[in-house]
A and B are shown apart, each in its own frame.
Chain A
Amino acid sequence: MVHQQQLHFSTSGRGTFNISQQVKEVISESGINTGICQVFIHHTSASLILCENADPDVRTDLETFMKKMVPDGDQMFIHQDEGPDDMPAHVRTVLTSSSLSIPVNNNRDKLGTWQGIYLWEHRTHPHKRNITVTVIGD
């Protein structure tokens, strides 16, 4: 059995957004008991991560780490058509994930207690982001 659904998000600029609840709802609606849930983001300047969901400082620190590793406006980059955060957003996307696969059991996600699914907006301005969730199983 296959269930596929689009999700739409409006981000407020650079940062992480917990989308676990929306993904859980798609799994529930799918009626699939056991299988796999694929989450895919249709962009090259925003990505997906699984991350600890208890202490928001973890995501603040990840942001700090990324900023340090891929600095905005780095002279190395020539692709800056849309600003100093343009090319760094593409690199950040490559270093993280465009898709995640998580197990489905008893019509629920099998995420760990402290795991959350996050959309990571890498552009500094707000964007509309599209995600496809596909649940496959029995």
Chain B
Amino acid sequence: MVYQDTLQLAQQGKGAYEIGNLVAGLIKKSGINTGTCQLYIHSSTASLLIGDTTDETTQSETASFMAQLAPSNDNFENKINRNMEAVPEEMRYALAQPSLSIPVKNTRPGIGVWQGIFLWENSAQAADCKLTITVTGE
């Protein structure tokens, strides 16, 4: 059995947003008891990641690390004549993941106690983005 849905997520600016409840709701709606759930973000600046939910500084510090690795003011050559800001943001995106797969168990996300599902927006000027969820199983 396969369930698929695409949602429009409103732009919220730079930061990490937990979408675990949204995902849990869609898995429940799918009616699939055991299987896998793939999340895919239709964006070039936002990523999906599994993060720690015990201390919210772990999200901001991951962002600080990435900002240091691909700083916004780095002098990247911009061959496609776009806003320079966008280049490091896309590099950070490439280092993270546009899609995420988790197990489905008892019609719920089968993830760890301290794991949360986060949408991680790297760009301050991001537009609304779409999220597609595909639940496969029985």
Q: Is the CB of B112 within 8 A of A130?
A: yes
Cα–Cα distance between A44 and B58 once the two chains are bound (Å)? 10
Which stretch (A15-23, A53-61, A92-100) binds chain B? A92-100
A134 to B36, CA, bound (A): 7
CB pair A76–B68 under 8 Å, yes or no, is yes
Interface check A38, CB cutoff 8 A: yes
Cβ-defined contact, A4 with B103, below 8 A: yes
CA distance A44 to B56 in the complex (A): 13
- Taking CB as reference atom, which chain B residue is nearest A38? B36
Q: Does A136 lie within 8 Å of B35, measured CB to CB?
A: yes
Partner of A2, one of B51, B52, B68, B138: B138
Q: Is A90 an interface residue (CB 8 A)?
A: yes
Q: Chain B residues near A90 (CB, 8 Å)?
A: 51-52, 58, 61-62
Nearest Cβ in chain A — how far from B94, in angstroms? 11
A43 contacts chain B at the CB level, 8 A cutoff: yes
Point out the residues of chain B lying under 8 angstroms from A2, CB to CB: 34-35, 137-138
A122-138 interface with B by 8 A CB criterion: 130, 132, 134, 136
Answer whether residue A119 sits at the interface, using C-beta atoms and an 8 A cutoff: no
CB proximity to A under 8 Å, residues B91-138: 95-97, 100-105, 110-115, 136-138
| B side interface size, CB within 8 A | 34
Closest CB-CB distance, B68 to chain A, in whole Å? 7
CA A36 to CA B37, docked complex, whole Å: 12
Q: Is the CB of B101 within 8 A of A43?
A: no
Q: Which residue of B is nearest A99, CB measured?
A: B101
Residue numbers of B with Cβ under 8 A of A are 34-36, 49-52, 55, 57-58, 61-62, 64-65, 68-69, 95-97, 100-105, 110-115, 136-138
Q: What are 29 of the A-B contact pairs (CB < 8 Å)?
A: A2-B34, A4-B35, A4-B110, A38-B36, A38-B101, A38-B103, A40-B102, A41-B112, A42-B111, A42-B113, A44-B52, A69-B69, A76-B65, A78-B61, A79-B55, A79-B61, A81-B55, A90-B62, A91-B65, A94-B49, A94-B51, A95-B95, A97-B97, A132-B110, A134-B34, A134-B35, A134-B36, A134-B103, A134-B104
Contacts from A to B (Cβ < 8 Å):
1-2, 4, 36, 38, 40-45, 69-70, 76-79, 81, 87, 90-91, 93-95, 97-99, 101, 130, 132, 134, 136
13 more contacts with CB within 8 A, not counting A44-B52, A90-B62, are A4-B35, A4-B105, A40-B111, A42-B111, A44-B50, A70-B65, A76-B65, A90-B58, A90-B61, A91-B61, A91-B62, A101-B101, A134-B36
